[in-house]
Structure 1
Amino acid sequence: MFKSNIRAINKDIKILLRDAQDLFSEAASLSGEKAEEARARGVELMEEALKSAQNVQDTALASGKEMATSANVYVKENPWSSIGVAASVGLLVGLLVCRK
C-alpha cells in the first residue's frame, strides 16, 4: 500500500513538473500579459509539486519511525532471536564478500 502511494505521488509530481516545463517553454516565446499568466501558472504547478514532495517525505519519515519503533520493540522482546538473525546475516554477507 505504501509503495503504491509513493508511485502514484511520484507519477503526479512528474506530470506536474512536465506541465510546468511546458508552460515555461511556452512563456519564453510569449510576451506581455499572456507570458505573465503562463509564468504564474508555472509557479503554481511548481508549488503543487513541492507540496506533494513534502507530503511524500513526511509520510516516508513517519513510516520509517514506525518501523524503527517496531524493530526496537521486537529486539527488546526477543534478544536472542535478534542476535541469531544478526549473526546469520553477518555470516552470509561475509561468505558473499569472500567469494572469488
Structure 2
Amino acid sequence: MFKKTDKVEKNINQDVTLLADTLDEVLQSAGDKSRDELDKIRSKAQGVLRDTRARFNTDKISQQARDAAASANDYVKDNPWYGVGAGAAIGIVIGVLLGRR
C-alpha cells in the first residue's frame, strides 16, 4: 500500500544506524588512538552527520509526509469499506480497553 514510505523509512533507519555506529566508534576509540587517527575518525563522523542532516531536510520530510497522506487518502477513496472497517476495529479496541478500567 505505501511502498514509497516503506522505502523512506528504511533509508531513515539506515542513516540513523550509520550515524550511531560512527559516533559509537568515535566515543570508543577516543583513548586508544593517536591524534592522526582521531582526526580521521572525527572527519568521518562530521561527514556522516552532515549527510544525515541534509537527508533530514524539513522540506523533504514534509513533502514525503504529504505524499503518504495523499496515498492514504486515495486508498480510502478507492476502498471506502476498508476505511470503515479499520475505523470500526479501532473503535472496538479502544472501547474494550476503556471498558476494562
**8 A Cα contact 1:16 1:46, kept in partner:** no
More RCO (CA 8 Å, sep 6+) = 2
* Gap change, CA 1:8 and 1:44, over 3 Å in 2: closer
Q: Using structure 2 for the length normalisation, give the TM-score.
A: 0.55
**8 A Cα contact 2:22 2:44, kept in partner:** no
- Determine if the alignment matches structure 1 residue 20 to structure 2 residue 26: yes
Q: Using structure 1 for the length normalisation, give the TM-score.
A: 0.55
Q: Which has the higher helix share?
A: 1
Cα distance in 2 for partners of 1:52, 1:81 equals 37
How big is the shift at 1:9?
Answer: 3.0
Structure-2 residue corresponding to 1:49: 49
Q: Which whole-Å deviations, capped at 9, do the CAs of 1:4-37 have from their partners, x for residues lacking one?
A: 54443333212211233356x34xxx7xxx47x8
User: How many residue pairs get matched?
Assistant: 92
What are structure 2's unaligned runs of at least 5 residues? 1-5
**8 A Cα contact 1:16 1:49, kept in partner:** no
User: What is the letter of the counterpart of residue 75 of structure 2?
Assistant: Y
What are structure 1's unaligned runs of at least 5 residues? none
Cα distance in 2 for partners of 1:22, 1:85 equals 47
Of 90-99 and 3-12, deviating more is: 3-12
